[in-house]
Amino acid sequence: MSLTMPQPDDAILARRGEIIAALRRIVPGEGVISQPHELKPYETDGLTAYRQPPMAVVLPETTAQVSAVMRYCNAQGVKVVPRGAGTSLSGGALPLADAVLLGLSKFSRVLDVDYENRLAVVQPGVTNLAITRAVEEMGFFYAPDPSSQIACSIGGNVAENAGGVHCLKYGVTTNNVLGVELVMMDGEIIRLGGRQLDAAGLDLLGVIVGSEGLLGVVTEVTVRILPRPQTARAVLVGFASIQSAAQCVADVIGEGIIPAAMEMMDRSAVHAAEAFANVGYPLDVEALLIVELDGPLAECDYLIGEVERIARANAAVTTRVSRNDAERLAFWAGRKAAFPAVGRISPDYYCMDGTIPRRRLPEVLQRIAGMSASHGLRVVNVFHAGDGNLHPMILYDANRAGELERAESFGNDILRLCVEVGGVLTGEHGVGVEKRDLMPVMFSEIDLAHQQRIKCAFDPGLLLNPGKVFPTLHRCAELGRMHVHRGQVSFPDLPRL
């Protein structure tokens, strides 16, 4: 692995027994895990290429316990890595050898459903899908729907600002969270936001969402819930070229239509998905679009007609409209099976997550094809077409010497390309450890210093989830002294992680 994590502190490791004993006094019973074989399940998250058992795992059950653990660790200079369900694809919950892994899995209760104000108050360990399950009998749902929604927790969704296929219409996590209870690294418990739309003062809630567990530990979340759409219909459109598919997407939005979801698959993704799921995808196309419209029946019918018209104008070679919900779900079954489908044609794959301006799509896919040839690795592309979020999956075999390194190098080239055409390193998976060292491709040192100074305002000792997001660990005092004027950087030459 090319990744370097902060050097473990020998003085902390030497005090391991004492630290575990102190944690046991705060969280009695089975809430502290320290045996090596019991630590094993916590050594990685959804980014399984990286593994590191933590010094200990603590699983508190109350906010007071979280606060006491954080206060103790802060006072003792012990690092803390928060963990939700452990489904991060960017290594956000990767442990450190000298850190306490703080798991929120026991915070699993729905505390309040307030239909009158259309919100739910939940603990962070509640899964994304469980929120919808808790409110669906009254006809509501929680809109952000990351594909891991059966397993991922709302606390992790807040940390990563999770998206999903329906975020084009309904927004990502940050647009659907009203408030949090947050425990800071020094143990202080604060509330940001509440049950109203805006908070008083600075929008600190806005910066907590997507902060990847570096600013505080969320112990309660208030989310908006929405009436479930009356109906949903999907149209499956095949194209003879990526260009015409991309133009169709631009024209749908140009006509003022914001579909609930608009997904694109390239030829290789269509073939892999069809071989796996047998859902009847056309195989003689270069690009396949799934466009889902939801809302009242009259709206769906009208918009499906409009999308069909726009598709025909863009030389669609096949157009199929779902006739019932079973058929709509079948259209999705292939797309949603893209990961296991790719898993069947390749021993390993590496999923990327850049976003680009949509108009650059044909050019970007062409250049990815070129990189595929030069790196000698196949790539399968699925794409949240409506918002420009690309998920190229690089196929490799970890058992072949050098292939993982080549896959990572290919992935980095893709992300550099995304930034080059005006896009970003990550649209919904987070920076974590995975994209940490690429941050300077997108941000200058001055830009990053401004972000890191926020970290210092929350956690001046840099004890919470260090080694994630930022490629360089500047001590807060150094950041304060750093002076840059008119872009003239006078940076101390600090060691990289």
Partner 1 sequence: MTSVLTPTTSDDLSDAIADAARSGTRLAIAGGGSKTEIGKPSNAVRLDMRGFAGIIDYDPPELVLTVGAGTPLSEVESLVAAHGQMLAFEPWDHGPLFGKPAGAATIGGVVAARVAGSGRLTRGGARDHLLRFEAISGKGERFVGGAKVVKNVTGYDLPKLMAGSWGRLAAMTQLTLKVLPRPRASATMVIYGLSPVRAHAAMARAMSSHAEVSAAAHIPKVSGAERSTTALCIQGFEPSVAARCALLVDVLRDHGTLHTLPAAEAESFWRAVREVTPLASSKTLWRIDVAPSTGPAIVDAFESLGARWLFDWAGGLIWLAFDGDAGRVRPAAERAGGHAMLVRAPEAMRTVVPAHHPRVPAVAALEFRVRRAFDPHGIFETGRFLDESNAD
Residues 274-303 close enough to bind partner 1 by CB under 8 A: 295-299, 301-303
Report the alpha-carbon distance of residue 60 to residue 98 in Å, rounded.
19
Q: Given the complex with partner 1, which of 463 and 469 has the nearer CB atom?
A: 469
Buried b (16+ CB within 10 A) or exposed e, 267-279: bbbbbbbbebbeb
Binding letters toward partner 1, positions 300-339, x by CB under 8 A? -xxx--x---------------------------------
Does the footprint of partner 1 cover residue 139 (CB under 8 A)? Answer: yes
Using CB under 8 A as the binding criterion, the count of chain residues that bind partner 1 stands at 100
The percent helix, strand, coil of the chain (3-state, each to 5) is: 40, 20, 40
- In angstroms, give the least distance from the CB of 124 to partner 1: 18
- In angstroms, give the least distance from the CB of 55 to partner 1: 27
Report the alpha-carbon distance of residue 466 to residue 469 in Å, rounded.
8
Question: Radius of gyration of the chain from Cα atoms?
Answer: 23
Which residues in the 150-169 window bind partner 1 by CB under 8 A? 160-161, 163, 167
Which residues in the 377-406 window bind partner 1 by CB under 8 A? 384, 387-389
Does the footprint of partner 1 cover residue 259 (CB under 8 A)? Answer: no
Out of 324, 374, 401, 483, the only residue in the binding site for partner 1 (CB under 8 A) is 483
Strand-pair category, 316-321 with 389-396: unpaired
Does the footprint of partner 1 cover residue 202 (CB under 8 A)? Answer: yes
Does the footprint of partner 1 cover residue 422 (CB under 8 A)? Answer: yes
Which residues in the 102-131 window bind partner 1 by CB under 8 A? 114-119
Phi, psi of 86 (to 5 degrees): 75, 35
In Å, what is the CA distance from 187 to each residue of 63, 75, 201?
10, 10, 22
Does the footprint of partner 1 cover residue 207 (CB under 8 A)? Answer: yes
Which residues in the 4-43 window bind partner 1 by CB under 8 A? none
Out of 28, 41, 227, 340, the only residue in the binding site for partner 1 (CB under 8 A) is 227
Q: Which amino acid would we find at residue 444?
A: S
**How many angstroms separate the most distant Cα atoms in the chain?**
71
Out of 49, 240, 253, 315, the only residue in the binding site for partner 1 (CB under 8 A) is 253
Report the alpha-carbon distance of residue 101 to residue 371 in Å, rounded.
38
Which residues in the 440-459 window bind partner 1 by CB under 8 A? 442-444, 446-451, 453-454, 456-458
Report the alpha-carbon distance of residue 167 to residue 427 in Å, rounded.
11
